[in-house]
Amino acid sequence: MKERLEALKAEATREIEGAGALEKLESIRVKYFGKKGEMTAILRGMGKLSKEERPLMGAMSNAIREELEKLLTEKQEALKAKGMDEKMEGEYLDVTLSRDIIRTGHRHPLLQTKEELEDLFVEMGFQVVDGPEIDTVANNFDHLNSPANHPTRDLTDTFYISPEHLLRTHTSTMQIRAMKEYGAPLRIVSSGRVFRYDEVDDTHSPMFHQFEGLVVGKGITLANLIGSLNIFIKEFFGEDLEIRYRPHYFPFTEPSTEIDVTCPVCGGEGCATCNFTGWSMELLGAGVVHPNVLRNCGIDPEVYSGFAFGMGIDRIAMVKYGIKNIRLMFENDARFLRQF
């Protein structure tokens, strides 16, 4: 019996030490200490031993059992710890990795510019109104005092849908719509797409965006126009630029002006962007509302007067952000848009 016990101890020790997983360890425990286990069988055979042998063998087998159980527990702990290490290794989380992997979108620079413009004018007491991109020839030209022989009415300049309807060539259609709907006095801004038969180049596109404003009230003069637009321009572009009002012609305003600001790239010194003029490309058209236009909308020009202005949102954004090519605004290249 002594030899059997010693052989069992050696065998079991070897097996326990060689066990690589907890499941293996459990099967070893069952093999020796389970109901049908080898150690259990030996202990059961104890009854057949002589009186002298029994306590000796009993003590020996107890010692071996204790030793093996201790080994088993130790090994179990070791395997558990190893399993935890492996788990930690496998589920390792690098907290220094950039988490900026999911990019969220944001508003297009044109929409941002439009909303900024709206906010500024709403603060000045203007109401925001909206209107259609397809409008009548009357709203686009006739009511705006644009004579039948005006060049912008030409088929090569304007997209006609029918003899009476067209894709609006400017947002000035909204002057007519607003005056007809609300009458005087009023202060509105309106923006949206406009369409012209233009070749695409760095500053032109057959579709672009305009932002229109109209004030009608008693005693409104050119001075109100200049005062309001100066406030707007300085607020939008910054205090230190200069503003230039150039005389111009629009059929629906008299007098009329075009407005430039200091080239934001060179600050007025002259550079390639401003063609060495020191001035931005023209940003706004404006003027005192022509009495005929008021009359066409049922407003008495002897009582009321007004001023109107229109600007290209695309160009405003280009000047503000130093973008040289209008195409970038419509190509929707994510690498470009991400910068805003």
The residues that touch ligand PHE, with contacts defined as CB under 6 A, are: 170, 172, 212, 250, 253, 285-287, 308-310
CB of 166 to ligand PHE, least distance (A): 14
Closer to ligand PHE by Cβ: residue 17 or 157? 157
The DSSP-derived string for 95-143 is TTS--TTS------HHHHHHHHHHHHHHHTT-EE----SEEEHHHHTGG
| CA dist., res. 103 & res. 89, Å (int) | 29
Q: How far apart are CA 149 and CA 142, in angstroms?
A: 11
Minimum distance from CB of 231 to ligand PHE (Å)? 18
Q: Which two tokens stand for residue 218?
A: 């008693």
Cβ proximity to ligand PHE: between 268 and 287 the closer is 287
Q: Least Å distance between CB 334 and ligand PHE?
A: 31
Question: By beta-carbon distance, which residue lies closest to ligand PHE?
Answer: 310
Task: Give the contacts of 113 (CB within 8 A, at least 6 positions apart).
Answer: 313, 316, 317, 320
Structure tokens at 93: 């989380």
How is residue 159 written in tokens? 């997209």
- Between residues 194 and 329, which has the closer beta carbon with respect to ligand PHE? 194
**Sign (positive/negative) of CA torsion 258, 264, 266, 271?**
negative
Give the helix ranges, DSSP H, for 141-254.
Answer: 173-182, 222-237
Q: Which is nearer to ligand PHE, 198 or 201 (CB)?
A: 198
Name which of 73 and 127 has its Cβ closer to ligand PHE.
127
Contacts 24+ apart (CB under 8 A), 334-338: 337/108, 337/109, 338/103
CB nearer to ligand PHE: give 313 or 323.
Answer: 313
Nearest distance from residue 224's CB to ligand PHE, in Å?
Answer: 14
The string of DSSP codes covering 20-52 is: -SHHHHHHHHHHHHSTT-HHHHHHHGGGGS-TT
Q: How far is the CB of 111 from ligand PHE (least distance, A)?
A: 20
In the beta sheet, which residues pair with residue 213?
A: 189, 309
CB of 320 to ligand PHE, least distance (A): 19
Question: Nearest approach, Cβ of 169 to ligand PHE (angstroms)?
Answer: 7
**C-beta closer to ligand PHE: residue 252 or 279:** 252
